[in-house]
């Protein structure tokens, strides 16, 4: 499904066939935003946690400290996402 926009320019009317469902400043419906948000969480969870596991293994940390490193990785990732959203 493509969205068709008609723009008035100095040379006449130009039809823009966009492959995107939503524009840059559009607010998607809640259902779409929820689905995309869950997809983002699933896609980013493994890359955020993966670096902490070899680091904890290389440092020979006990499970409590290794879980702390993984928790802080997730916290910093969430904080970074919050900063980007509210920028």
Spell out the domain ranges in the chain: 53-86
Local confidence band at 21 (pLDDT 50, 70, 90 cut-offs): confident
Q: For residue 75, what is the enclosing H or E element?
A: helix 63-85
Q: Is the pTM of this model over 0.75?
A: no
Tell me the pLDDT tens digit for each residue of 25-81: 888 899 999 999 899 889 988 899 899 999 999 999 999 999 999 999 999 999 998
């Amino acid at each position: 499904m493509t969205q068709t926009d008609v723009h008035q320019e100095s040379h006449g009317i130009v039809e823009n066939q966009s492959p995107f469902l939503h524009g840059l400043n559009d607010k998607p419906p809640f259902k779409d935003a929820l689905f995309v948000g869950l997809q983002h969480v699933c896609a980013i969870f493994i890359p955020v946690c993966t670096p902490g596991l070899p680091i904890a293994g290389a440092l020979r940390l006990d499970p409590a400290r290794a879980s702390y490193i993984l928790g802080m990785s997730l916290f910093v990732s969430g904080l970074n996402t919050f900063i980007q959203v509210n920028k």
